[in-house]
Amino acid sequence: MELVQLCMKKRGIRFFAKIPKEFEKTIVSSNYKSYNTKERFLSELARRETEYDMILITAHGAENKIIVPITQYDSYRQEHPERSNDKYRTYISLEDTRFFKNDFVFAVSCLTAQELGPAVVENGVIAYLGYDVIIENLFNVSDICMSSRVRELYEVVIKRIFVKELVQAVTKFLTDMQNVLMLKQWFALRLEKGLIDFFSMSAEEVYAAYGIGINKDIWNRNRQKLQIQQLNFLGEINRHLIIIGDSKYISLYGIENGCKLDKQTYNRLKAVSFDNKDYEKKFKYELEHLIEVQDEKGLY
């Protein structure tokens, strides 16, 4: 089992580029691969089609596809002159996702849980976690009438919080052998806590934590308005982080990597059932094998 990420570094989401470096610092680094082109990403998935991997997508999304911004010199403009006003083009279509089969997909992308998620689950993905709304305004507050310095500070900090909590939530999901529902709830909870902690800081504490200076009076005059708006917005998008497929799905990562099991965890995992019975059979087999190995070593 591997964690395979499509990490796009495009306009509006360049901060996603920091995610691979953060995963490299975690316990799952040896089972982690990151790609920033669909060709290499899909090629890797095609090679591992029966491995029950976790796919992490951090990219722009639309209802039924992964998209990328159209740049000034993009050949798309010459090939489709009738679409000269388009800002985005299709990058990964539903047809491209045939290699997602038997995997768990977590898509940090706008809107994909509306159509792409249900479609890939129908085509064999075990579970899909993603958003069915636009999440861009969590990171971009340029339209809010307040000090530009406060807006800039917020946008830097929320991106750092998001990357940190995403990496920690995925790592916890894999190593603690929790299900998709727990991943969703943990990630949403930690994001909210991170924002609340940030807005509770003084200007001095902000500088100490993030190395960014902000005038005390400007910060105090503006942060409450920003806090109310952004926490309300975060609460809304957290409600639209949707599970499609088997919310009981638990990754094989912990079992395949010999994580030590106590009796309580073993009993919990032994009792679980999955919608995909082939996966359930493999999961239970690997679980019993791990217990046999640990029993022989006196670890269980």
Domain that holds residue 281: 260-296
- Within a domain: residue 253? no
Looking at the structure, tell me whether residues 209 and 292 fall in a common domain: no
What is the average per-residue pLDDT within 122-142?
93
CB neighbours of residue 246 within 10 Å: 22
Token pair of 72 as six digits: 């000034």
What is the average per-residue pLDDT within 14-31?
95
pLDDT of residue 159: 96
DSSP string, 112-181: TTTTHHHHHHHTT-SEEEEESS--GGGT--TTS-S-HHHHHHHHHHHHHHHHHHHHHHHHHHHHTT-BHH
Measured CA to CA, the distance from residue 98 to residue 120 in angstroms comes to 8
- Within a domain: residue 250? no
pLDDT of residue 51: 87
Looking at the structure, tell me whether residues 290 and 179 fall in a common domain: no
Looking at the structure, tell me whether residues 198 and 266 fall in a common domain: no
- Within a domain: residue 62? yes
pTM: 0.92
Q: Which residue has the higher pLDDT, 200 or 69?
A: 200
- Within a domain: residue 190? yes
Residue 125 has pLDDT above 60, yes or no: yes
Measured CA to CA, the distance from residue 66 to residue 249 in angstroms comes to 24
- Within a domain: residue 117? yes
Q: Structurally, how many domains does the chain consist of?
A: 2
Residue 175 has pLDDT above 90, yes or no: yes
- End-to-end Cα separation, the chain, in angstroms: 23
- The percentage of residues in the chain with a pLDDT greater than 90, rounded to a whole number, is 74
pLDDT of residue 82: 64
Looking at the structure, tell me whether residues 149 and 282 fall in a common domain: no
Residue 300 has pLDDT above 60, yes or no: no
- CATH code assigned at 19: 3.40.50
Looking at the structure, tell me whether residues 91 and 191 fall in a common domain: yes
